[in-house]
Structure 1
Amino acid sequence: MSRFVKPALWMFGALAAGGLAFWLLLALDIPYKSTAAPETTPVTTSATTSALPEPVEQAAWVTGVRPGPDDHSAVLEVQVPNCAEAPHARVTEADNRIDAVVSYRAEQDLRCPQTPVDVPIKTTAPIGNRPVVVNGSEAWPVAAGRQQCYLVVGCNPPADHCDRAWIAQVESLAEAEHPGTTRACDQSWLIHDLQRHSGQAPNRVAYRWASYGWASFASAQGGGCAEILAAEPKFPTSLCEKLAPPG
């Protein structure tokens, strides 16, 4: 029987030694190395579509102004792209005029067909004979219905496009501090040297006639026609070929 007792005692001793060693580890608080979980890299997904550009504020093209339902209102007739947000107007009043800024919001790169839209405005005082000046350039007398007026030449502009009144409107819109010098003019084309500020050299500007008056299309620092013809080849050379530089 002793041959069975010795192995049993040996096994018991081995278990006791193992338990003692485990107790010592706990008592001594010896750190042990654990197997760390593998690091993972977060997966990011890129956007499949780029963000659309923000709409920008743009001036509306006004084609007419008519009276509203009462003497404190008018309706601005405008053309805007049919993909734009609804146009809106900001109104300020003076004793002799009403200013309306009409604009809409749309993305710059979009090309959409124009569509007519009515934009009503309200005033604090009765409109009376005060013209409605739209977007700082065109004036419309609401009391006169669809007749168009202008900032400087008024509601009965001269038929001669080279009249001093039309030139004065050019200088007013350019915010010139001094009268300029007209170098050439016919009923369709104008060359005018603007004197915007004291001490500055005159600035030569070429204009073409438009529905609202003279519209600038080029400026020139030198004499002759080269700079003007580069912007508008149809400009008649007889009006500019002999001109000296502005000064």
Structure 2
Amino acid sequence: MAAALCAVALLLLGGCGTRVAGDTSDANSAASTLSLPWTLAQPSAVTAAQLADDRRTLTLTAQVPKGKRPCVRAFKAAFTDSSPKYVWVQITFSSPSGDRRSGCTGEGTASTKLRLPEALGNRELIVDSSTQFTADGAQLPALRLCGELGCHPPATGCTTASYEQAMIAADAPEHSYRDAEHCDGKWLVIDFSWRTGPVCGDTTATPSGCTSSLGDRVFFRAEPAGWKTITASSTGGCKAVQRVEPGFPTALCATLAPLSASLHPSYPPPSATASKLP
């Protein structure tokens, strides 16, 4: 009889041997989560913008923290400034994601609407100081996301500005130097290199500074948004690029020498300014 009463008592207390009276670990854990500070934050990326028929109402989509518990509060966009060429908007929200105990370690998307004081018109939309959108050339209602060179990069062609755009498209290392360009306006080959080894002017280094370099050769195709990388190869001739893009013109690649043989061993040349070196 005593054993039966003990069993009933243990069950009423929450389970035989599984919990101890006064154990509040789960409650403390929940309270700890609730007490995490919610701080003001901005999205890691703004991925899309849409413009309604009134040309004033925007729908903005961005990447925000995500987890098992709520990770975002007060997600909103606000108009901050405008000029004849630009409209500035800022997205903010509150989140406990700064503390990993919150569980907000993933990412999801969230959208918010904003009505501008006046129509966007031909102006570019700048969100959070860095992401640009434009209605020019866009398929409305979606605005066009602009690239690293802005909403209107240099047109593809055989010009210095165009080559610089191609170097960005190729993700060339910082302080790279263009060695040669072969261009017909629709297709492009760029040889570029960057110095490696000791710093220029370091007389204690062996070998001395500026005596070695690495390089690459990248092939491009012109597209409406700018130069598009086809492939990269250090080999000579056309085989590498025409394997990927059979339409690449032989006239631009037939005479290309293997890259290792074409690089000058002391590139960049003495005429290059030291400020461009790493």
Question: TM-score scaled by structure 2?
Answer: 0.40
Bigger Rg over Cα: 1
TM-score, scaled to structure 1: 0.44
Q: Which structure has more RCO (C-alpha within 8 Å, separation ≥ 6)? A: 2
